[in-house]
Structure 1
Amino acid sequence: MNIERSIEKHHLTIARYVQILTLRYDIKREYLTLGIPVIIAFMILMMAVLTGHSFVTDEASEAGPAVSDEAAAKQAAYEALVAELEAAEAAERGETLPAEEEEVEPEPDDDKPKDDLDHIMVFAILVAIIPYSIDSFLEKRKLQKREIAFSEFLYKLSELMRGGIDPVKGFINLSKTNLGAISSHAQDAASSMVLGKSFDESMHRMSASMKSRLVARYIDVVVQAAYTGGNVADLLFRTSEDMRSVIAIQREKEADLKQYIVIFYLAQGIIVMLTYILSTSLLPLIQGVGMEMLGGAGLSDIDFERGFFHMIILNALFGGLIVGLITEGEIKHGFKHSAVLIALSYIACVTLLLPAGAGDSYIVSVVSGDGQEVFGGIPLQQPIIFNVTDPDGNPVPGTFVKMTISPDGIITSSMTEDDGTVSVTPIPGSDAGTYIVTATAGESKGTATIIVGGEDG
């Protein structure tokens, strides 16, 4: 018993201090459900930036490592070709060239910047909007229950007044019964009446605590009816019936507008599927052809998947807000739809477009077909076969592998087979030189070279 009393005492003390702080500093729920989560989300982003996380940029992802890898591969292929020609000439002269020592490749730098800030930003957005969306959803449900309970309260008050009881006594008597969602509000208003406050002031105080524009409108009707006199009981009865009709119309309107929620959700899913089809079918073919845009930028240098990812997340965020505005009349009710759409879209993008985290665990290596010498503009005699495995050496079947060829040529992307291999037969360009075939699985890459000879070669 002592423990229960102590717990109850602490609860009362905490509630008292919360009430004092709320009255003194006018603390609103939005400060806790929106302000604090936004601050936390901002701190998450700041910590990510300070710890080396960054966005993927064309300069970092393409012009930097990709170009250097291609240049190194071209240099290695050129040196190998020169060595073969020197060995052939030496063999004709009967000489033997000394074996060259293999150069030790430098170890990769593990301290490179992490290019996953856009993923962290998605989590930060969810952290910022989920608490407020949940709170607004629960508050709306409570508000609907209060409005229904208040219409029942007006009906009961009209019945008491028909029995000859004045509005103040009838209100006080009803506050002692179970009024459902408005019991505490009615009890506070009745207590203020007992302490000498007027019926007008107490009713408007109740209206302010319930935070419903519909209830406030009908409370004004009740107050005016109580002061003007006449058949107040019948007026309250008709008011309660009218309020029930308005509530029913609102519910029917919301039910009719729910079809737009389904439409927006389906539209978001269609956008995700269209971008997946573009990323896996059309864009790899266009990029493999080596087409160039105005200004000389190659399509193969553009990270379309990352751009699609950003577009889908932004569409989910603002689309959810539009859903809330259309279906419920206020943007704040759209945050819950934004949270759901962002979460579902992010899972779909990570699974289909951006295998986040999985890319670092792939190992892409050349099995055969590397270093072939061909004439320009014709397919390879033998396909280039890449092998995709996890860190333990297990094959990774059914994984999309993006294929590109530079400086130009035709190539097609495809999925890995059951044994984790993927084969490709590219058509290099007509210019002589070394061509680089790059296989990208997630964020991991493997390269092979093709040597195109001149017309006299």
Structure 2
Amino acid sequence: MNIEKYRLTAERYHQMLTIRYDIKREYLTLGIPVFIALMIVVMALITGHSFVTDEAAAGGAAVSDEAAAKQAAYEQLVAEMEAAEAAERGEVVATEEEEVEPETEEDKPKDDLDHIMVFAILVAIIPYSIDSFIEKRNLQKREVAFSEFLYKLSELMRGGIDPVKGFINLSKTNLGAISTHAQDAASSMVLGKSFEESMHRMSDSMKSRLVSRYIDVVVQAAYTGGNVADLLFRTSEDMRSVIAIQREKEANLKQYIVIFYLAQGIIVMLTYILSTSLLPLIQGVGMEMLGGAGLSDIDFERGFFHMIILNALFGGLIVGQITEGEIKHGFKHSAILIALSYVACVTLLLPAGVGSTYMVTVVSGDAQEVMGGIPLQQPIIFNITDVDGNPAAGTFVKMTITPTGVITSSMTEDDGTVTVSPVPGSTAGTYVVTATAGESQGTATIIVNEGGGD
């Protein structure tokens, strides 16, 4: 009893607020989620999250960290060479070991703003897409129920009952999805409102353009007189035909939904093949015409990730416009495509994921002295393990060589090792090979001599 009382009280306050402030469903299903999504992005920016491509704009923090690691590796190599020379002369060199403070979570770069924005987009559009889907289903049920209502009203009028009385009698029966709307209109007629005004009020509450057109026909037929019962019967049959045509058209257009979903899957697979097969073969190629920068300095995987998510968002909207005639019905397709594409990208295109940490160590091939412009005689082997020391098999390792040179990125073997044979530049000096797995890096050095190597 108390539950029913509270329910009636809640409905009364809901009606009061709706009538007084004209609260629309979009305020709750679209406005509030969009506000929450914006707050998520703002809080992410305040807490230091950024895009990976914002390295230069942010002061080059990530670049300076990589340069510092390479400089430290170079200094360590020089110290080892000096120690070896001193040992040959019989001198004892005291080595100073610097304590390296482990990088804390606060010191790590928070370059996952694009991932946060994906979640924010889903938070913004999922409630509205669900509400639009449910509202359309209910609208279709109301249109079918109204066509049945017109048929029943025509049968009552064939028996000699006038439209107003027949309408009131039908409102007392179970009319399915339009029972509440019919009861409200019947109550208006009982209270003295005209048949036309009550029917238009019913049309407004049902929010259907199709129902609105046929209600105008019913009102005009009731006022002009004649064989109204036959007119209502033909109107009911005509409305059923229109509904059947709409259903058939939507069924025929569903093939485009399948096409768009398959196209999105093909895009994901193509970018995966490019990232794992083609790009690693050309990423290390030097590009002197671009100021000496190499393709390895470009984060193709992240760019592909952004392209796939944007294509999922706008592709879903296009699907809704084509198949259902309104962009708002495409939000559900956008939400599904974004969610599936994000999972696929994190699993395939960005295998390291967000926040993944590995241990990268050099097994062999470090500190070689070679001639410039030719591959190393002894390849460099890196060992990639997870935080527990287990081999990280099948992990994508991005390889770079500075200042110039040719190197190929690769995937780890079953034992967690990855083997590379870089080609350093022709200029004499020290070259640094960097292996990047997730957020972890390991370095090896190559010394290029002017006259040749050992």
Cross-structure match for 1:42? 38
Residue type at the aligned position of 1:100: T
**Structure 1: distance between partners of 2:70 and 2:289:** 21
**Which stretch shows the higher mean deviation, 229-238 or 431-440?**
431-440
Indicate whether 1:108 and 2:110 are aligned.
Answer: no
The answer as to whether partners of 1:434 and 1:450 remain within 8 angstroms in 2 is yes
Could you tell me which of 296, 301, 321 is aligned with 1:300? 296
Could you tell me which of 43, 46, 51 is aligned with 2:47? 51
- The alpha carbon displacement at 1:82 in A equals 4.6
Cross-structure match for 2:368? 372
- The alpha carbon displacement at 1:181 in A equals 0.7
**Structure 2: distance between partners of 1:97 and 1:213:** 94
* 295 and 434 in structure 1: CA distance in 2 versus 1, 3 angstrom threshold: closer
**Structure 1: distance between partners of 2:301 and 2:19:** 51
**Structure 2: distance between partners of 1:298 and 1:378:** 17
Identity fraction in percent:
79
**Structure 2: distance between partners of 1:444 and 1:197:** 76
Indicate whether 1:96 and 2:85 are aligned.
Answer: no
**Structure 1: distance between partners of 2:14 and 2:335:** 30
Residue type at the aligned position of 2:197: E
**Structure 2: distance between partners of 1:87 and 1:402:** 37
Aligned counterparts, 1:68-83, within 5 A: 68-83=68-83
**Structure 1: distance between partners of 2:419 and 2:271:** 24
Classify the secondary structure of the residue corresponding to 1:133: helix
The answer as to whether partners of 2:280 and 2:410 remain within 8 angstroms in 1 is no
- The alpha carbon displacement at 1:256 in A equals 1.0
The answer as to whether partners of 1:54 and 1:117 remain within 8 angstroms in 2 is yes
Residue type at the aligned position of 1:371: A
Cross-structure match for 2:258? 262
**Structure 1: distance between partners of 2:126 and 2:452:** 68
Q: Structure 2-normalised TM-score? A: 0.94
**Which stretch shows the higher mean deviation, 155-164 or 426-435?**
426-435
The answer as to whether partners of 1:292 and 1:299 remain within 8 angstroms in 2 is no
**Which stretch shows the higher mean deviation, 133-142 or 66-75?**
66-75
Question: Number of residue pairs matched?
Answer: 448
- The alpha carbon displacement at 1:297 in A equals 3.9
- The alpha carbon displacement at 1:360 in A equals 2.9
* 115 and 456 in structure 1: CA distance in 2 versus 1, 3 angstrom threshold: closer
Please, which runs of 5 or more residues in structure 2 have no aligned partner?
none
Classify the secondary structure of the residue corresponding to 1:402: strand
Please, which runs of 5 or more residues in structure 1 have no aligned partner?
none
**Structure 2: distance between partners of 1:369 and 1:298:** 23
Indicate whether 1:229 and 2:225 are aligned.
Answer: yes
Indicate whether 1:347 and 2:343 are aligned.
Answer: yes
Residue type at the aligned position of 1:226: A
RMSD: 1.9
Q: Deviations over 1:268-306 (max 9, x none)?
A: 111111111222222222221223553554322221211
**Structure 1: distance between partners of 2:383 and 2:355:** 14
Classify the secondary structure of the residue corresponding to 2:160: coil
Could you tell me which of 178, 195, 199 is aligned with 1:199? 195
Classify the secondary structure of the residue corresponding to 2:115: helix
Q: Deviations over 1:135-174 (max 9, x none)?
A: 0000000000111111111111111111111111111111
| Structure 1 outlier segments of 4+, above 4 Å | 85-88, 356-359
Residue type at the aligned position of 2:428: A
* 345 and 407 in structure 1: CA distance in 2 versus 1, 3 angstrom threshold: same
- The alpha carbon displacement at 1:344 in A equals 0.6
Classify the secondary structure of the residue corresponding to 1:412: coil
**Which stretch shows the higher mean deviation, 402-411 or 123-132?**
402-411
**Structure 2: distance between partners of 1:153 and 1:296:** 77
Cross-structure match for 2:121? 125
**Which stretch shows the higher mean deviation, 104-113 or 194-203?**
104-113
**Which stretch shows the higher mean deviation, 17-26 or 361-370?**
361-370
Cross-structure match for 1:67? 67
Q: Deviations over 1:394-432 (max 9, x none)?
A: 112122222222222222222222221122222222222
Q: Deviations over 1:321-374 (max 9, x none)?
A: 111111111111011011001101111111112246565332222122211222
The answer as to whether partners of 2:398 and 2:436 remain within 8 angstroms in 1 is yes
Cross-structure match for 1:161? 157
**Structure 2: distance between partners of 1:6 and 1:159:** 42
* 224 and 356 in structure 1: CA distance in 2 versus 1, 3 angstrom threshold: farther
**Which stretch shows the higher mean deviation, 413-422 or 242-251?**
413-422
Residue type at the aligned position of 1:187: Q
Aligned counterparts, 1:58-457, within 5 A: 58-59=55-56, 60=60, 63-85=63-85, 87-88=87-88, 90=89, 95-112=90-107, 113-292=109-288, 294-355=290-351, 357=353, 359-455=355-451
**Structure 2: distance between partners of 1:356 and 1:281:** 17
